[in-house]
Amino acid sequence: MNRPLYVFYGDEILTYYFGPSHPFNQKRVKLSVDLMKDLGLFSHKNQLLPIRQASIEEALAFHQEKYINFLQEVEKTGDIYLDQGDTPSFRGCLQASLWIVGATLQALDAVLTESVYAFNPGGGLHHAHRYRASGFCILNDAAIALEIARRKYGINKAAYIDIDVHHGDGVFYGFYAEDWLLDLDLHQDGRTLFPGTGFVQEIGEGGALGLKRNIPLAPGASDDSAMYAWREVIEPSIREFKPEMIVMQCGADAHYGDPLAMLSWSNNTYTNFARSIAELSEEICNGRLLLLGGGGYKPSNACLAWAAIALTVSGQEAPDSLPDSWTEKFKEAYGYSPPESILEPETQDPRTLQSTQKTVQNLKALIQSRITPS
């Protein structure tokens, strides 16, 4: 893992703002990038780069024109909800969303035209569907990037991995019948969490049968469950499919203490996943790896998890303690002290590990029975 890492960030993404009482706030992204700076991530070959705004035409690579036209009208006043109550509109909401998409497309361009990894921690808005908003997500930057990778760059096989605690339904169902995309989604069981989807039985259709794989985890599932699912499903699936590029949505809301979810991962899982996916990208697709942010509603969890991912793919170790300069910035922004270190004890839960093992066995058996010729 000797490639440079390009991180894309601009304060323009702070305009994606639902109000002071809403749980989704991009200030956590700014503070995560500040932590990367204060840890010296950009003092060597790695770069922090500004972002651009995507065009309407680029958004239409995934989204329906009728939906984009609707957003163009709605953003003039910003006085309605875009879904059943999670995603309010606001003045300029489409323009703000296009900044997030633009940052992801810049990261995509870097991955496919330069020998680098790329990370947009402000991206990963995976709930938006082709025709509607959902779950704090107005435009689906991940899905747009996947479509543009195929159309502009001729990518014939891509893999999308989603480790957000919430099922990435916008991407999963948006490409459910597409045989060029392997979708691997590790999340809290949809029977216990929004959006209520992402079950083992959903494995794609038509030529994509077996290429959509959900691994729902029971509430309380810890590092041991996460790593078991990764080793047993995600790693072998990537090796079997042999994608030409990998996109990973790195939502940080599966970390213990997140107020909107019930999994119990530590930063060890994010570090281990980052190391593994970087190694897999080198082994299989010449290091073509695009990383995106996502959920994470305890700000300190998101900041530390994304910094851990950035350090790991850069081949750097997390220090024993966080810089005082950053700790003060965080306290000023949020009014409480963050943890003293990225480093944490591993979490384990034998009960939920057994549940995860059963889920993985069921998924493997289903895929074997549905796609193996009799």
Q: How far apart are CA 169 and CA 218, in angstroms?
A: 18
Q: How many CB atoms lie within 10 A of CB 338?
A: 22
- Residues 365, 159, 49, 99, CA torsion sign: negative
Q: How far apart are CA 63 and CA 54, in angstroms?
A: 13
DSSP conformation class of 88: B
Task: Report how far apart the first and last C-alpha atoms of the chain are (Å, whole number).
Answer: 42
Q: How far apart are CA 46 and CA 266, in angstroms?
A: 25
Catalytic residue list contains 63: no
Q: How far apart are CA 104 and CA 139, in angstroms?
A: 12
For residues 252 and 270, is the Cβ–Cβ distance under 8 A? yes
Placement of tokens 């041991």 in the chain: 224
Placement of tokens 């000023």 in the chain: 332
Q: How far apart are CA 231 and CA 330, in angstroms?
A: 35
Q: How many CB atoms lie within 10 A of CB 196?
A: 13
What are the CA-CA distances from residue 47 to residues 33, 134, 207, 248 (Å)? 11, 32, 40, 20
Placement of tokens 């309605």 in the chain: 80
272: its two tokens = 């281990």
Identify the H or E element spanning 334.
helix 324-334
Placement of tokens 């035209």 in the chain: 113
288: its two tokens = 């073509």
Indicate the pairing of strand 245-249 with strand 158-162: parallel
Catalytic residue among 63, 127, 167, 187: 127
Q: How many CB atoms lie within 10 A of CB 73?
A: 10
Which residues are part of the catalytic machinery?
127
